[in-house]
Amino acid sequence: MALGEFDLIRSFFDRPGLRSSLSDVVGIGDDCALLSLQPGQQLAQSLDTLVEGIHFPKHCDPYLLGYRALAVNLSDLAAMGAKPHSFTLGLTMPESNDVWLQSFSDGLAELASIHQIGLIGGDTTRGPLTLSIQVQGTLPEANALRRNGAQVGDLIYVSGCLGDAAGALPDVLRGQNPGSVRTLEQRHLLERYYRPTPRIALGQWLLENGATAALDISDGLLGDLGHILKASQVGAEIKTTSVPVSKALGSLMGPEKSRELALTGGDDYELCFTWPDRKKLLLPDSLMTDNPVTCIGRITSASGLVDAETAQPLSPRAYQHF
């Protein structure tokens, strides 16, 4: 049951800023979208669903929601080293509200324009507010940053600072947004929550230059790193004090709480990756200035994840009990 679906799509979704600029793409308007790949390319795809009241607060600013929904999906492409190509949107909403739709689609379009990707298809339906976005990107054939390539001895890195988005959660749950809070520190954390930066350029560079494994940190460093360890059948030791924390988070939360959030908090969408020890990691200035990377540990042959300083096991749950 569509809600004036054709007009709605034409007004808000089949428009400049969201239309694909690729000549070999057929977008909105037929039973299916059509796309082609260049010879030697493969397609990477990721689908994420966000539900009101679960993944974002009720009455969330629709612009920020549109931006964030696309950002968290693009982050999965970054984690594989893929170049963004296009996306589709399944939008379920309780009513058709033009003001809401304009703002939501503007948020999508801002990030879509940055990465030059088009919205090529989807579905709009009535129901509880839920978004499913599938992003697609291209990769050289038989080449991708997988989770299963980490080798014993590899160094473990993260991009950016961790814990900011988790630090913003109390404000998010109170319905705050970056424009509504009083301190620059709160604003920084809310920006990080609502406008995470998918590390697309870094992911592509890591793929081209020989990182052995990668993923994006959506559920918290300790848990997500665990996926690399499991897929690669290795262990790791990390120096918890070297996990980078922003000044804003540190000053709002103090050192202990900041570190806990950096290790266990989700929603930052930074990359965690492994890199061969024998090879020097020399990021180009453009990437390093924008978003430095930090070595936080090393892959080991022992199974499990341990604190490099205390040799104690580290797990997302255990750490929260500190």
Binding site for a second copy (CB under 8 A): 1-2, 24, 26, 29-37, 39, 42-55, 76-77, 79-80, 82, 88-92, 120-128, 130, 132, 134, 137, 139, 141, 144, 146-148, 215-216, 219, 231
Q: Least separation, in Å, of the C-beta of 35 and a second copy?
A: 5
Residue nearer to a second copy on the CB measure, 39 or 289? 39
Q: How far is the CB of 254 from a second copy (least distance, A)?
A: 26
| Residue 269 · residue 197 · CB < 8 Å | yes
Which one, of 239, 285, 291, lies nearest residue 270 by Cα? Answer: 291
Please identify, using beta-carbon distances, which residue of 124 and 186 lies nearer to a second copy. 124
> In the complex, what is the shortest distance from the CB of residue 183 to a second copy, in angstroms, rounded to a whole number?
28
Counting beta carbons within 10 angstroms of the beta carbon of residue 244, is it exposed (0 to 12), middle (13 to 18) or buried (19 or more)? Answer: middle
Query: Which residue, 231 or 308, has its beta carbon nearer to a second copy?
Result: 231
3-state secondary structure of 277: coil
Minimum distance, C-beta of residue 285 to a second copy, in the bound complex (Å): 27
Q: Which two tokens stand for residue 294?
A: 């930090």
Please identify, using beta-carbon distances, which residue of 33 and 64 lies nearer to a second copy.
Answer: 33
CA distances from 107 to 25, 61, 194 (A): 23, 10, 11
231 touches 274 (CB < 8 A): no
Residue for token digits 């070297």? 242
Q: Considering beta carbons, is residue 36 or 183 the nearer one to a second copy?
A: 36
Of 290, 256, 254, 255, nearest to 271 by C-alpha is: 290
* Shortest Å, Cβ 141 to a second copy: 6
Q: CA 108, CA 17: separation in Å to the nearest integer? A: 9
CB of 310 to a second copy, least distance (A): 28
In the complex with a second copy, the residue whose CB is nearer, 95 or 285, is 95
- What CA–CA distance (Å, rounded) separates 170 from 180? 14
Residue with the two structure tokens 């090393």: 298
Which residues are CB-neighbours of 110 under 8 A, at least 6 positions away?
Answer: 17, 66, 67
Min CB(172)–a second copy separation in Å: 14
Residue whose CB is less far from a second copy, 80 or 238: 80
Cα 165 from Cα 320, distance rounded (Å)? 17
Q: Which is nearer to a second copy, 80 or 245 (CB)?
A: 80
Contacts of residue 303, Cβ cutoff 8 Å, sequence gap at least 6 = 229, 234, 235
Q: How far is the CB of 171 from a second copy (least distance, A)?
A: 18
